[in-house]
Structure 1
Amino acid sequence: MKLSQNRYFLVLFCALLLITQVHAQKAGLKKIDLPDLDSHLTFLIDDDLEGRATGEPGLDKAAEYIRKQAKRIGLKAIDDNGDYYQEYTLVSKRMDTENSSITVISEKEKINLGNPFYLLNPDTLNHEISGEVVFAGYGIYSKEDEYNDFDGIEIGGKIVMIMNRGPLDESGKSLLEGQDWSSDRSYQFKMPGIIMRGPKAVLIVMDPKSGYNSLEEYSPRMARYLSTSRYVKEFGQKDRSFMPNVATKIIMIHREVADEILKGGSKTLEKLQNKIDKKLKPVSFDIPETTVEISANYTLDEKAVPNVVGLIEGNDPELKKEVIIYTAHFDHVGTDGMGGVFNGADDNASGTVALMEIGEAFMAEQKNLKRSVMILWVSGEEIGLFGSKYYTENPLIPLEQTVVNMNLDMVGSVRTERDKGSVGGEKVSVLGMDSLSLIGGHQSSELMDIHNQTMDKVGMFTDSTMNDPNHPYRYFYRSDHINFARRNIPILFYSTGIHVDYHKITDNYDRINFEKLKKVSELSYLVGYELATRPERIVVDNPFSNWGRMR
């Protein structure tokens, strides 16, 4: 009889505990509110914030708004100053365009060209480069195709000029089978082989068939990005330039500059490209009696840039020392310099406002939390994951007490009829209303189980297409979660996928499906709630450090 009573009270206790948990979850879920999501996002994507570029006034306005919301919600400030800010110093090295130039010197004349150019790997404030010039077609060596743009020429110690991409047919398809050279980013694959040949500099020009004369025509945003090199002062003087510490300087030039250089050989870029593509044979040569002088000069400035962070403290005397960290970057890519603003509604105002609602949800049931929950809005994601890297190197709670990082980046979109083909060289992958892209979960089978159970509970489906650390698009490494994963902290990265408006001015209010955004916010909250209330910490049974050589 006594044993039966004990069993009865045990069952009753478990039932009451379950009811309490369900009630707490519902209390939190009620705080994730469509009008609030709409209101917060509308503020963050206003043109007045100028695209929230890191280091610019618009980002400061966004940070101040987020800070006010953190305080309103009741998050605890745990930074040294008690103002919800964790600041780092951004150093910007900008090209001084008025004092930078390319000069073409021939036997007949010396022409100083004012066309913009972009040095991809600056390593000092002043660069002076001069030398003879060699035209090397596309700069491709393909053994499989028996094609070699370097056959019969010597580029060591000289300036070599190449076209972007590779030989193409009339439809734009690569004529070489060894590798697809039709991508506008193909120059990246050419550089190692060219640099091994020891040129002073590589001049890259958009090929005429591309339809673009210059980088700024192709992508004003990329042109502005390349005109400025940025790094975090506290990390040491490490420029995030393309192929740093390489003596050969890599420079993107205007087509008018290329044609001026080619005058010495009585050629034009268009005629040379047509000749190469027609016969699929290289046309490479030294440009006679022509030298080029390049002067590239830079200025430095420093600015304090904030992460915004607040805490919901747990109630267990010991377990509250552990923390689940939610992250979302609140920066975007700024303006196009011609009046257009990249407001980044989905990337990543969506994740930013989701964290506001998730924080409010946890505050509604704080008394039930065993572990603490941190809401961390990070800056600098678009220019190098700077904010999250700074946090993981300067954690406000010791990293060994961090249970999981849940990262939300682009979580407010649903596939439309417009979402076809590719964008920026990547296949459009945005999902439907009931699906969510997952990256992560590899480090802990328990964490993956919690994710799967919660997805079933809310009636959503997991898309794991991109959940491969070796996927060619490298999504596992391209958002803020990676800085936690590298510290052996299990991660879940949620996204609704890449859409046709990715990094375009059209990523605006109309891109957002607020019902989907609410659904992802609720899912993320429920996963975190389970992690914050379970008695035992999840086991990390496959730490990142055991994965072998990863980027």
Structure 2
Amino acid sequence: MLPNLLPMLAVAAALEASAILLVLGELGFLGIVVGGGQNVSTDVTGRGGGTEFIFATTEWGATLAQGKFEIYRAAWIALVPATAFASAILGFNLFGHGLRNFFERAPVALGRLLSLRTAALVIAVFVAFRLASPYFGPAGSFVAVAREFDAARARAHVDWLSDPARAGRYTGSAGYNDAARYVAHVDWLSDPARAGRYTGSAGYNDAARYVADQFKSIGLEPLGSDGTYFQNWGTNIVKLTSMPVLERVGEDPKTFQPRADFSERVGGRAGSGTAEGNVVYVGGGIRTQEYSDYQGTHPEGNIVLIAGPTQGDPIDAAIRSGAKAVIFVSAPDRGIIRPSYLAFFEKDTLPVITVSEAVADELIAPSGKHIADLRKTLEERRRRSDQRPSLIRTAPEPLSFDTPTRVHIEVSLGPLEPIRTMNVVGMLRGSDPERAKKFVIIGGHLDGVGSDPDGTVFPAANDNASGPAVTIEVARVLAAKKAMLKNSVIFVAFSGEEEGLVGSEAFMANSVTTPYRADNIVAFVDLDMEGCCGGLAASDENFELHQRLKAAADRLGYDLDYTPGVGGSDHITFLRRRVPAVMISGTDLGPFHTVGDRATTVDPARLRASGELVLQSVLEMAGTG
């Protein structure tokens, strides 16, 4: 029976393929596409500015959907996928009718062809092709080049950049590849006054000179100001003037330890100040017309504690409710870290801190409740409310309550301080006259979160001395294979990432009047936290670029996963401008923004894996296209 049906099934498959394409086109027009996409913030200042949806793949439906938004600027964009869909649908229909006429005129016994022997042969050919394909073609020839990445050199760069004792001025790196020279650097840089590469600090400027010296020794073409490697720009920074304070006052006083029990938040509505009041638990801190976590509580003149699903700006809701300060509770899978400081503030601000779950439990202990249970209950209530199968949606009951616990909070910030800083930029020019006008960019941020007023230094080895270290060694290998590059490749170490991606924003703002402006960038590969831990991972904001990196990883014998969803990095700056961008990191981010982020935590094997993946990927993009 089946052999007789096979001709009919072959015809039906061809005709149904055209129907499937038609459905994909209709879904694409509605914005439902293969690969999906992501909302990317269009806010370049941190003051608000909405988001824009960027489709993650160049699938026809996604291009058609994007064409709707460009109809007044470039109406032709929608014509390209529409033409492709129409041609493919017509082609499958003609193919299906042709098969039908062929089978009607000359019946074919397909059953004889589809034997077990034929199936075994097809499977064998597929497996052989799958195993051998990574080693053929231009991409396969790049594997040997990618293996030239020197992890030991990269680890040495990390050691130098992240040494917590480095306070002096860098004067050159001649002979740095010598192990004795490396030890001399470590010995000489043992002064504890080093500032942790905070943007604008002497320590950061020293590190920037170090990277520029490496770029020069490699032979990169300088792309900075006045023929140097330094792209100079200005911004504001803000610093703590004294360590933050959290104290429980009253009958059972207790002083909590900054960086162990709690940390401050800085930027936007989280500012400087002193507050004292009773702790009021307000769930997720939501206050809207439909629902309020503040219902039944007394936040006026007190300090609100927020731990639960939230929406909007919970600090703004606290200000509107009359609170004097805000306490957030860190996620149970994250510790207390030294935060990044965003040097811009709204008109109305409050002192804001983040405490561990254990500290939060102490603060609400008189209620007999626990933060984990409250958070879980609120999340479950909101989930049920959002998924209730009814035309009438009911808001869940808040679990908020007042407590008799009284606390004192201090966050002391200095004034905004204007500074001059720099990105470090170099280039290898492509060998093809036309393709050299298009650029692949590789880099990561060089700055760290600096040090505390009490002298505690945050070495920033993994986050992110590791990124520039890999960048330097990738540049070294590619410089030796420059003839293989058709496109130009730019290498950059950004300042100001910890202050809100302001260094990469300055880079892109400056690029408007240069050949490497956004529409000439093929891709940006962001290297952030390359030193540890887990396996290789890449972000998935751009599905097509992630797949290209995954194919490169396959050729090298590595597995490439997806990065954890923690914070943002400089690739977001490029995504905002619709430049294909991806961040390479680890499946487990490892230590960051802590005193434990030292060079000893950096794994040379992970540096090697990241370096080889970047080399393979860049050679495939810039060497073959």
Provide TM-score, normalisation by structure 1. Answer: 0.62
Letter in 2 for 1:37: A
Once the 2 structures are TM-superposed, how far is the Cα of residue 381 of structure 1 from its aligned partner? 1.6
Once the 2 structures are TM-superposed, how far is the Cα of residue 347 of structure 1 from its aligned partner? 1.7
Q: Which of 469, 474, 484 matches 2:574?
A: 484
Cα 1:23/1:93, change in 2 over 3 Å: closer
Match of 1:284 in 2: 402
Structure scoring higher RCO (CA < 8 A, sep ≥ 6) equals: 1
Cα 1:453/1:48, change in 2 over 3 Å: same
Match of 1:378 in 2: 494
Match of 1:263 in 2: none
Q: Is the 8 A contact 1:78 1:84 kept in 2?
A: yes
Match of 1:41 in 2: 158
Q: Which of 322, 330, 336 matches 2:438?
A: 322
Match of 1:32 in 2: 149
Match of 2:538 in 1: 438
Match of 1:503 in 2: 593
Alignment pair present for 1:303 and 2:419: yes
Letter in 2 for 1:487: R
Once the 2 structures are TM-superposed, how far is the Cα of residue 383 of structure 1 from its aligned partner? 2.4
Once the 2 structures are TM-superposed, how far is the Cα of residue 513 of structure 1 from its aligned partner? 1.9
Q: Is the 8 A contact 1:31 1:357 kept in 2?
A: no
Once the 2 structures are TM-superposed, how far is the Cα of residue 39 of structure 1 from its aligned partner? 2.4
Once the 2 structures are TM-superposed, how far is the Cα of residue 493 of structure 1 from its aligned partner? 1.8
Once the 2 structures are TM-superposed, how far is the Cα of residue 374 of structure 1 from its aligned partner? 0.2
Instruction: Show CA shifts across 1:479-505 (max 9, x none).
Output: 111111121111232112334533322
Cα 1:382/1:101, change in 2 over 3 Å: closer
Provide TM-score, normalisation by structure 2. Answer: 0.55
SS at 1:349 equivalent: helix
Larger Rg: 2
Alignment pair present for 1:60 and 2:160: no
Q: Is the 8 A contact 1:328 1:376 kept in 2?
A: yes
Instruction: Show CA shifts across 1:299-325 (max 9, x none).
Output: 232111111000000121111111000
Q: Is the 8 A contact 2:270 2:352 kept in 1?
A: no
Once the 2 structures are TM-superposed, how far is the Cα of residue 409 of structure 1 from its aligned partner? 1.2
Match of 1:401 in 2: 520
Match of 1:388 in 2: 504
Q: Is the 8 A contact 2:538 2:560 kept in 1?
A: yes
Distance 2:602 2:543 in 1: 31
Distance 2:283 2:570 in 1: 35
Instruction: Show CA shifts across 1:112-150 (max 9, x none).
Output: xxx9996856779998999xx77634466799xxx9874
Once the 2 structures are TM-superposed, how far is the Cα of residue 523 of structure 1 from its aligned partner? 1.8
Distance 1:364 1:411 in 2: 23
Q: Is the 8 A contact 1:322 1:372 kept in 2?
A: yes
Distance 1:520 1:126 in 2: 40
Say how many residue pairs are matched.
Answer: 417
**Equivalent pairs: percent with the same residue?**
24
More helix by percentage: 2
Distance 2:239 2:151 in 1: 42
Match of 2:280 in 1: 136
Match of 1:112 in 2: none
Q: Is the 8 A contact 1:346 1:410 kept in 2?
A: yes
Q: Is the 8 A contact 1:88 1:304 kept in 2?
A: yes
Alignment pair present for 1:524 and 2:614: yes
Cα 1:306/1:120, change in 2 over 3 Å: closer
The 5 Å alignment of 1:57-456 reads 57-94=202-239, 136-138=280-282, 150-152=294-296, 158-165=300-307, 181=308, 192=314, 195=317, 198-204=320-326, 219=336, 221-222=338-339, 230-231=342-343, 239=344, 241=345, 244=346, 247=348, 249-252=350-353, 272-274=366-368, 284=402, 298-395=414-511, 396=514, 397-414=516-533, 430-431=534-535, 436-440=536-540, 442=542, 444=544, 447-456=545-554
Cα 1:384/1:141, change in 2 over 3 Å: closer
Distance 1:151 1:35 in 2: 59
Q: Is the 8 A contact 2:236 2:419 kept in 1?
A: yes
Distance 2:420 2:145 in 1: 35
Instruction: Show CA shifts across 1:144-201 (max 9, x none).
Output: xxx987445565xx42322454xxxxxxxxxxxxxxx4xxxx8x76963972783344
Letter in 1 for 2:206: K
Distance 1:304 1:520 in 2: 32
Distance 1:200 1:33 in 2: 57
Q: Is the 8 A contact 2:448 2:458 kept in 1?
A: yes
- CA RMSD, Structure 1 to Structure 2 (Å): 4.9
Distance 2:416 2:521 in 1: 36
Letter in 1 for 2:230: Y
Distance 2:144 2:411 in 1: 63
Q: Is the 8 A contact 1:134 1:160 kept in 2?
A: yes
Once the 2 structures are TM-superposed, how far is the Cα of residue 400 of structure 1 from its aligned partner? 0.8
Q: Is the 8 A contact 1:150 1:284 kept in 2?
A: no
Q: Is the 8 A contact 2:159 2:599 kept in 1?
A: yes
